[in-house]
A and B are shown apart, each in its own frame.
Chain A
């Protein structure tokens, strides 16, 4: 692993010391663990009452309260979690696009999320998504211990993700850091990511150029992963078309995330590296201040 990447990760690790990870609302499945979650759960610590709704477990109905109020009320207990984070880093070459801050932002976000997870008492596993999905060395510790996270895979990471052998821990939280410039169907990817997970979060890291396209000119555009070359005359019209295509692509992922109960958080690499603003993660309650 490049020392440069380690340094980027350490920058994010340091920034992430202010945050702690939390389980997003609307967890995909029930949880059970040693920590109390923010949501209602199945622990023995009473949290609140609420009116009965069809489908609620009849065992949670407080019959005493029914006697007093003549209303069916159910008891709510604080969620009991045993959190684990599976952090997947897309190691394709496009994540280290030259003359952009994608590599720095990717590694910094990984460091920030790992730091937040540790702050929240999560256990953490780091996965390298390249030709296969494989555990990275030292993923449970600080970035100083990480290894094998070189952003150099020349292939479609989406297809690799689909070929993976499932190694995520059940009922854990799963976060995928990628630019999502894959040809793979997002529904398939997200279905596999969210399967038996507590929560699935997709963090997209894209450079400004990925969002807007290159500046005007006649270019031989070279795919950083496949090496394919395409002659393009980029002008205002083609840039508009590109932006529309990129926005549609992202929107497709958003829709698929919603459909799979996952959360999608977008970062522009250059902006993130400028002020380390983790607001999108805070807004989606993936992180919280300690």
Chain B
């Protein structure tokens, strides 16, 4: 495709009608008196038969002049064409966020079909800009393969990190590659260099479900109206029968609804009427099974037993008893205690030898599930100096003294050692005490479940435990396709990329989880716009990759002028007027 570097030179084309006018004016016959016409009579007879030939010469000369002038104007515009050997690789960054489904993806497909031609680019690479960037097809491909690969551009990510994707494109493309970003929103900053930012979004009104959680006996659903006008929206709820609720949403506002499912065990499906973006109009919520953690308190010290009992009850997820406990809390020394399958042992070592009170600072591994939410400032932690902790991993330290440790035992059992002397401590009088027990019980309950979550958001990762002895987990996606996810160390990480109900190991002890497109930023279409930023064809690129046609066109114009001169010479016998 030719490029005109000086298109204003084409203004010279307005000279064409002027030349035509001058030509016609000049070619108008002038009156001239002669002595007599008698000597022209023979030629009048000749003209009558040769009038067509005579008339033909006049426009031919005019056409030659006009063509030469047009060519010179075109040459002045300095047209360039792409050199055959100057094709560059094109890397396309595709916004995979689900807001693209509001028309931008379809427009992008159409736009990209224009770019995907082998004549213009050496090769193509497609990068999906989702939560993290990834290559849509491995390596560089031709135009046809790139077009085919676009079918896998699903736009089902909760967000698009385009900057990371551009960085990846720059890394894999090298200095020659051009980068085309196809998205639905304008760039945050200046676009320069070899990047063209193509935004195809439209500012559209949208009503969406932006938050939804389900607990025992109730659900919370948050609706948002991303438009400039208030709306009455109908929310249809399917749970042991369909009901409809009408909610009035002010412009650019949200509203939270609390629902009580009629059937607490059945899925609850909430949906809105269709609008600009369909994916955020529906959500499926499953009942998260809140199986209590069975706790056995095998503690001889009355004071400690009381404190442990209170903490377990306060957690709300513990059922204290002796039958098939999940967790055994004991103050017996190491080597004694339960050995049931799946039991976790919490061993409280309450001060062998002389006790020492530690006032801090404490070293806490806040990444550990046991340490989440702990704040030990001002806490006095007393422990016996001679207590032996058998843990492999320390969670809380006072200097080089481990106060809380844990270690993995066989059959997914764990042993947690807590060095604590209540007489020398005040931690049991601080909020850290129930927090510590809640962390412990939550960790245990989570370890006993197959899924890390049943109601998840698009883009989240769900951990699924494999069956004993199996290394893969089969998940049936909402679209009906099944995937076998590898489960190294017995747990498969499922990246949620579809909205709806996912079935895990349908046969036997199967379970399921539901995913929803819950992201207010993506549902807000009012921030979208269309436009193009950046330009590939800069002067440097012109010089490097384009041929100038100016000389060729001037040569053509010179040829026309020469032909014109020849015809004039032949016609006027050498006397050019």
A residues apposed to B, CB below 8 Å: 94, 97-98, 102, 179, 181, 183, 206-207, 209-210, 213-214, 216-226, 228-233, 235-236, 238, 241-242, 245-246, 249
Contact with A along B9-34 (1 / 0, CB 8 A): 00000000000000000011111111
**Is B114 in the interface zone, CB < 8 Å from A?**
no
Q: Which residues of B sit under 8 angstroms from A226, Cβ to Cβ? A: 37
Q: Is B571 within 8 A of A181, CB to CB? A: no
Taken together as a complex, chains A and B put the C-alpha atoms of A221 and B34 apart, in Å, by 6
Q: Which residues of A sit under 8 angstroms from B38, Cβ to Cβ? A: 181, 183, 249
Q: Is B39 within 8 A of A245, CB to CB? A: yes
**B side interface size, CB within 8 A:** 25
Taken together as a complex, chains A and B put the C-alpha atoms of A209 and B36 apart, in Å, by 11
Q: Which residues of B sit under 8 angstroms from A235, Cβ to Cβ? A: 571-573
Taken together as a complex, chains A and B put the C-alpha atoms of A98 and B34 apart, in Å, by 9
Residue in B28, B34, B42, B573 with the greatest tally of chain A CB atoms within 10 Å: B34
Give me 22 A-to-B residue pairs in the complex whose CB atoms sit less than 8 angstroms apart, sorted by A's number.
A94-B36, A97-B35, A179-B36, A206-B35, A209-B34, A217-B29, A217-B577, A218-B30, A220-B32, A221-B32, A221-B37, A222-B31, A222-B34, A224-B34, A225-B36, A229-B31, A230-B40, A230-B44, A231-B29, A232-B43, A232-B44, A232-B47
B residues apposed to A, CB below 8 Å: 27-40, 42-44, 46-47, 54, 571-573, 575, 577
Q: Is B40 within 8 A of A249, CB to CB? A: no
Nearest opposing residue in chain A for B574, CB measure: A236
Taken together as a complex, chains A and B put the C-alpha atoms of A222 and B30 apart, in Å, by 10
Nearest opposing residue in chain B for A233, CB measure: B54
Taken together as a complex, chains A and B put the C-alpha atoms of A223 and B575 apart, in Å, by 26
Partner of A97, one of B27, B34, B42, B571: B34
Q: Is A220 within 8 A of B35, CB to CB? A: no
- Contact A218 to B34, CB < 8 A, known contacts A232-B47, A233-B54: no
Q: Is A232 within 8 A of B40, CB to CB? A: yes
Q: Which residues of A sit under 8 angstroms from B29, Cβ to Cβ? A: 217-220, 231
Q: Is A223 within 8 A of B36, CB to CB? A: yes
Q: Which residues of A sit under 8 angstroms from B40, Cβ to Cβ? A: 221, 230, 232, 242
Q: Is A246 within 8 A of B39, CB to CB? A: yes
Q: Which residues of B sit under 8 angstroms from A245, Cβ to Cβ? A: 39, 42
Q: Is A214 within 8 A of B35, CB to CB? A: no
Chain B nearest Cβ from A176, distance in angstroms: 16
Nearest opposing residue in chain A for B57, CB measure: A233
Q: Is B35 within 8 A of A94, CB to CB? A: yes
Partner of A210, one of B31, B35, B54, B575: B35
Taken together as a complex, chains A and B put the C-alpha atoms of A214 and B47 apart, in Å, by 17
13 new A-B contacts at CB < 8 Å, known A214-B32, A232-B47, A246-B39:
A97-B34, A209-B35, A216-B575, A219-B32, A220-B32, A222-B34, A223-B33, A223-B37, A228-B37, A232-B43, A232-B44, A235-B572, A242-B40
Partner of B33, one of A98, A213, A238: A98
Q: Which residues of B sit under 8 angstroms from A222, Cβ to Cβ? A: 31-34
Q: Is A181 within 8 A of B33, CB to CB? A: no
Nearest opposing residue in chain B for A179, CB measure: B35
Chain A nearest Cβ from B561, distance in angstroms: 21
Chain B nearest Cβ from A219, distance in angstroms: 5
Q: Is A241 within 8 A of B43, CB to CB? A: yes
Q: Is A216 within 8 A of B577, CB to CB? A: yes
Q: Which residues of B sit under 8 angstroms from A217, Cβ to Cβ? A: 29-30, 577
Q: Is B39 within 8 A of A249, CB to CB? A: yes
Q: Is A219 within 8 A of B573, CB to CB? A: no
Chain B nearest Cβ from A177, distance in angstroms: 14
- Contact A219 to B39, CB < 8 A, known contacts A232-B47, A235-B572, A235-B573: no
Taken together as a complex, chains A and B put the C-alpha atoms of A223 and B37 apart, in Å, by 6
Taken together as a complex, chains A and B put the C-alpha atoms of A220 and B244 apart, in Å, by 94
Chain B nearest Cβ from A184, distance in angstroms: 11
Q: Which residues of A sit under 8 angstroms from B572, Cβ to Cβ? A: 216, 235-236
Chain A nearest Cβ from B45, distance in angstroms: 11
Q: Is A230 within 8 A of B37, CB to CB? A: yes
Nearest opposing residue in chain A for B30, CB measure: A219
- Contact A97 to B33, CB < 8 A, known contacts A232-B43, A242-B39, A245-B39: yes
